[in-house]
Amino acid sequence: MNAKQKIILLWLFWAIILIGFQATVQARYEPKRPDKVLQWTANETTRVFNKDQPYLIDPFMNNQVAWDSEFYISISLAGYDDPVLRSIGDFEWSRTPEGDFSLNYAFLPFYPFVMRLLYYPLSILGLTDVATATLAGVLVSLLGTLGAMLALYGLVEPHLEDSGGMRAVFYLVIFPTGFFLAQVYTEGLFVGLAFGSLALLKRKKLLWAAVLAVFATWTRAVGGALLIALLWFWVKETDWQNFQWRDLGRGMIALLPLGAFLAWKFSPWGRAFSIVEDQFFGRGIFLIRSSLSNWALGYRSIFANNLQTRVFYLIEFAATLLGLVACFATLRRYPAEALFGLAVIGISFFSGQAQGMPRYVIAVPSVFIFLATLGKNEIFDRAWTVGSVLLMGMLAALYAFNFWVA
């Protein structure tokens, strides 16, 4: 059995087991509500909170939808101005002089667009519209994850051989927040595009790497950080003593993710994106002062009396630290991947809110390269596997119950 076949089988069994696990925990027990992990979560995790959110209450694959899934399903079915969905005008504290905007505008279009494309052939199954979109979203996430696994193996195998490559892809799908790769969330598609772009750079296929980077940027804004990897490749591969027009053209190709980001940013949708992100979600690019203030509050929460909040922020800081250590540890051998990872961590950490880092570091390839290197030690391999799977099981269960995870 070759590496590709092994990866496909691992991916298939992982998906079946994970989705089955989430269904099993829903059937077996329920945690005490509401979730008081953060100040705002108690009001949104009661038994009846989702009753007015039609995109989150369809029973089909309901364990794979929560929180932001609502917006992706909405955009895929009804577009950005879905009248069913909430808008910032519904909340007095977030109203703006620029007008009223659907909360959908805080989310980029490529993932729901691909969901919509897959929705059409899946509609022959006779499911409800929401169920069909949910199935499409899960399949897009899973296929993106498979692409990420194949790309990650290609990045790691030349250095760590087949065993190291398989460890890296295994650590990806059992990462504590790796369950997001099988939900109606952007993580699966994003890592597939981002890791695929980096793998193509390794093969010196700059154009195709840039194309995937463009799609990654339209999936999550942080995909624009792939610009760093593309420019690194261009600078390294260019013969500066014999610079030609062809080299300039390759440099322009490397700038495509920046062009994609600016095209979105200055479009009517991008303007609304910035407003909703800022006024409702409190997010932005390099909001250093507010970010540091919020992370300081998170740090102090570790020493407060709320044990749920303590565990939450310990995981947040541990994920951030792991990402940074991994990037610096792999910087020499994997400079493009490490620089991209550092940009992802920096942009995410300073986005304004002190949450989400365990999910964001899934997109940092150095994490899995670093872990695969450490995994050459059998004790570390077994210990990390046990710890990571147990933690993922807890977080996947919480997500299935619509509790806040990351």
Q: What mean pLDDT comes out for the span 293-308?
A: 94
| Per-chain mean pLDDT for the chain | 93
pLDDT in tens, 334-364: 999 999 999 999 999 999 999 999 999 999 9
pLDDT of residue 85: 82
Q: What mean pLDDT comes out for the span 243-257?
A: 88
Looking at the whole model, is its pTM more than 0.85?
Answer: yes
Separation of alpha carbons 259 and 83, rounded Å:
31
- Percent of the residues in the chain that have a pLDDT greater than 70, as a whole number: 97
Q: What mean pLDDT comes out for the span 302-314?
A: 95
Contact 65, 134 (CB under 8 A): yes
Residues with Cβ < 8 Å from 202, sequence gap 6 or more? Answer: 154, 155
For 267, which DSSP code? S
3-state secondary structure of 99: strand
How confident is residue 91, by pLDDT bands cut at 50, 70 and 90?
low
Report residue 316: phi and psi, to 5°: -60, -50
Separation of alpha carbons 101 and 90, rounded Å:
10
pLDDT of residue 93: 46
pLDDT of residue 210: 97
Separation of alpha carbons 358 and 85, rounded Å:
28
pLDDT in tens, 17-71: 999 999 999 999 889 899 899 888 888 888 777 777 889 999 999 999 999 999 9
pLDDT of residue 98: 67
Separation of alpha carbons 140 and 351, rounded Å:
26
- Does the pLDDT value for residue 234 go beyond 70? yes
Separation of alpha carbons 186 and 107, rounded Å:
10
Contact 186, 111 (CB under 8 A): yes
How confident is residue 96, by pLDDT bands cut at 50, 70 and 90?
low
pLDDT of residue 403: 94
- What are the start-end ranges of the H helices in 238-377? 245-254, 256-265, 268-279, 288-301, 307-330, 335-349, 357-360, 365-374
pLDDT in tens, 358-396: 999 999 999 999 999 999 999 999 999 999 999 999 999
**Distance in Å from the first CA to the final CA of the chain:** 37
pLDDT of residue 282: 82
Contact 266, 272 (CB under 8 A): no
- Does the pLDDT value for residue 322 go beyond 90? yes
pLDDT in tens, 128-150: 999 999 999 999 999 999 999 99
Report residue 87: phi and psi, to 5°: -130, 165
Of 109, 186, 106, nearest to 140 (Cα)?
Answer: 186
Structure tokens at 127: 């499911």
Give just the sign of the alpha carbon dihedral 384, 330, 343, 232: negative
Q: Which residues pair with 87 in a beta bridge?
A: 102
Contact 130, 53 (CB under 8 A): no
pLDDT of residue 80: 93
CA distances from 351 to 67, 205, 245, 303, 306 (A): 19, 32, 38, 24, 25
